[in-house]
Amino acid sequence: MTSGRRGLAPRKQPRQLRAELTRQRILEAAAHVFEEYGYAAGTTNRIAERARVSIGSLYQYYPNKDAILVELVTRHLEAGEASAGRRLAEGLPESLEEILREFVRAAIENHVDDPRLLRVMAEETPRSAELIARVNAYEEERFRHTQELFENHPEVRVADVEAAARLTVTTVELVVHKVCAAPDPIGTRRLEDELVAMLHRYLTGPA
């Protein structure tokens, strides 16, 4: 699997509406193909056929399917960042339980539509230095914000707030991903309630 930065970057940045629409079709087609066939069998020929473009046109935009998957991951991260930004702009609830519910609900909303594709993203995406740096920066920003929130919330009683912030963010992301991507997942409402209850007990227990 190609892992160099040159092999993972999109070849063509669309400047016209028609070109941008073509790229969108390729990405949407790739998402469906990877979800339906998995990454190994999700060939560029299948992606091109699903997108209704020639294989030559596809290669004008992306050098290989690795590059397509990396862009899908990048867009997934951007969607998560945008969702978090909207929630912050609207203001968080006062109670810790409802804040945790917002965290969990946002994660579920970002995972529930295409869990199989998300499993492909998590397990088979090429680990380029650029993508790793992007993921790390995204996670560190979430850790920082959560730590600040916990430090200023009267209900949080854990002794190590920094560790608690990292554990909370990581637990929400990993548990939601694993449960939503499972062949027989539990209901999202039950997942939300159980995860919120677990984290709330941890954060409000004796320091």
Q: Residue for token digits 């997108």?
A: 51
| 146 close to 168: Cβ distance less than 8 angstroms | yes
What's the whole-number average pLDDT of the chain?
85
Domains of the chain with bracketed CATH = 5-65 (1.10.10.60), 69-204 (1.10.357.10)
pTM (whole model) above 0.85? no
How many residues comprise the chain?
207
- Cα 84 to Cα 173: distance, rounded to the nearest angstrom: 13
Cα-Cα-Cα-Cα dihedral sign, residues 61, 63, 65, 70: negative
Structure tokens at 150: 């916990």
> Which of the two residues, 128 and 69, has the higher pLDDT score?
69
Q: Please state, for a pLDDT cut of 90, what percent of the chain lies above it.
A: 44
Cα-based distances in Å from 128 to 4, 52, 67, 140: 6, 29, 10, 18
Q: What is the pLDDT of residue 13?
A: 60
Mean pLDDT highest for which of 15-29, 57-71, 86-100, 157-171? 157-171
